[in-house]
Amino acid sequence: SEAYFARLLGLPFIAVMPASTSQDKIRAIENYGGRCHLVAQAADIYSASQQLAHDSGGHYMDQFTYAERATDWRGNNNIAESIFQQMQRERHPVPHTIVVGAGTGGTSATIGRYIRYACHKTRVRVADPEYSVFHDYWRTGDNGLISDRSSRIEGIGRPRVEPSFIRSVVDEMVTVPDCDSLAAMRVLGRLLNRRIGPSTGTSFSALIPLAQQLQQAGQTASLVSLICDSGERYSQTCNTEGWLASRGLLDPVRQSQARLEQLLGLGPD
């Protein structure tokens, strides 16, 4: 979206991203006139962005710092208010739990703040992928944590604690193994008859145990998650068996997928 608006304004746009970013996503940015600057380590994107802005006389759009304040979390058609409006005609209009991932941290911050502002009893569960520091930060409060590896689940998980991730408005956090995220992506895509992305799979995987707990307790409630990425941009990465095999994920994903299909009463695809 930034590349699109930069082109409308006649401004050059440079996106700094890890070298592991999918080619489909890179092409999408380039199709809108943007340029992609790739770095070997995810933790280097910040210094590289600042250096590029300095060298070019440009502006560093620091979304990781300002995401939590970019929208009015009290309302005004933000994502949290929209969720509760869409749930109004459901049997259980106030969700028991909303499950999301965290990239900038802006989504969980907006939802968590809105819930407290509106005095709802809804809980916020954040699903974190492997190699992200958010879960450990939420657990320990250590904002100096650094990971030396990039998240394999694009769009969520960070190598450092981002300023927009507001730990105090998150009720629960879980780390989801990447094989479970990718298996859930496949299974949910089959259920919805559409291609979805891996970060959606992460949230869906973290939602399943909650549904099991409610069922075992004989409770009925609403659980909410988001389809936060489309699968079309991953046709050359996590949607291919070659990509999975090269990262040692193919067999674990197949096994996790079989377990999830059995749990949901689905036959083999």
Give the pLDDT confidence of 107-135 residue by residue, as tens digits.
999 999 999 999 999 999 999 999 999 99
Q: Looking at the structure, tell me whether residues 195 and 134 fall in a common domain.
A: yes
For the cut 80, the answer to whether the pLDDT of residue 66 exceeds it is no
Q: Looking at the structure, tell me whether residues 94 and 47 fall in a common domain.
A: no
Question: In the chain, how many domains are there?
Answer: 2
Q: Where are the beta strands (DSSP E) in the chain?
A: 14-18, 35-39, 97-101, 123-129, 172-176, 223-225
Q: Tell me the average pLDDT of the chain.
A: 93
pLDDT for the residue 25: 86
CB 92 within 8 A of CB 222: yes
Residue 185 located in a structural domain: yes
* Rounded mean pLDDT, 68-80: 78
Of 58, 84, 104, which residue is a domain's last? 58
Q: How many CB atoms are closer than 10 A to CB 100?
A: 26
Q: Looking at the structure, tell me whether residues 73 and 43 fall in a common domain.
A: no
Residue 83 is given by DSSP the state H
pLDDT for the residue 73: 75
pLDDT for the residue 56: 92
Residue 195 is given by DSSP the state -
For the cut 80, the answer to whether the pLDDT of residue 64 exceeds it is no
- For 126, the 3-state DSSP assignment is strand
Residue 269 located in a structural domain: no
Q: Looking at the structure, tell me whether residues 50 and 72 fall in a common domain.
A: no
For the cut 90, the answer to whether the pLDDT of residue 76 exceeds it is no
Domain residues for 46? 2-58
CATH at residue 32: 3.40.50.1100
Residue 153 located in a structural domain: yes
Nearest to 188 by CA among 94, 269, 69, 87: 269
Cα 103 to Cα 126: distance, rounded to the nearest angstrom: 11
Kindly list the strands in the beta sheet with 97-101, ordered across the sheet, starting from the edge strand earlier in the chain.
172-176, 123-129, 97-101, 223-225
What tokens appear for 54 in the block? 């300095």
Q: Looking at the structure, tell me whether residues 21 and 114 fall in a common domain.
A: no
Q: Looking at the structure, tell me whether residues 23 and 107 fall in a common domain.
A: no
Cα 171 to Cα 238: distance, rounded to the nearest angstrom: 30
Residue 268 located in a structural domain: no
Q: How many CB atoms are closer than 10 A to CB 179?
A: 22
Q: Looking at the structure, tell me whether residues 84 and 175 fall in a common domain.
A: yes
pLDDT for the residue 232: 86
For the cut 90, the answer to whether the pLDDT of residue 93 exceeds it is yes
Residue 149 located in a structural domain: yes
Q: Looking at the structure, tell me whether residues 18 and 143 fall in a common domain.
A: no
25 residue type, one letter: K
pLDDT category, 102, cuts 50, 70, 90?
A: very high
pLDDT for the residue 77: 76
Residue 215 located in a structural domain: yes
Q: Looking at the structure, tell me whether residues 153 and 52 fall in a common domain.
A: no
Q: Looking at the structure, tell me whether residues 99 and 37 fall in a common domain.
A: no
Burial of 158 (0-12, 13-18, 19+ CB in 10 A): buried
- pTM (whole model) above 0.85: yes
pLDDT for the residue 6: 95
Q: Looking at the structure, tell me whether residues 32 and 72 fall in a common domain.
A: no
For the cut 90, the answer to whether the pLDDT of residue 75 exceeds it is no
pLDDT category, 13, cuts 50, 70, 90?
A: very high
pLDDT for the residue 68: 73
For 224, residues 6+ apart whose C-beta sits below 8 A from its C-beta are: 83, 87, 95, 97, 98, 99
Q: Looking at the structure, tell me whether residues 83 and 36 fall in a common domain.
A: no
Q: What is the pLDDT of residues 166-203, one digit of tens each?
A: 999 999 999 999 999 999 999 999 999 999 999 999 99
Q: What is the pLDDT of residues 203-254, one digit of tens each?
A: 999 999 999 999 999 999 999 999 988 888 888 889 899 999 999 999 999 9
CB 233 within 8 A of CB 25: yes
Residue 210 located in a structural domain: yes
For the cut 80, the answer to whether the pLDDT of residue 74 exceeds it is no
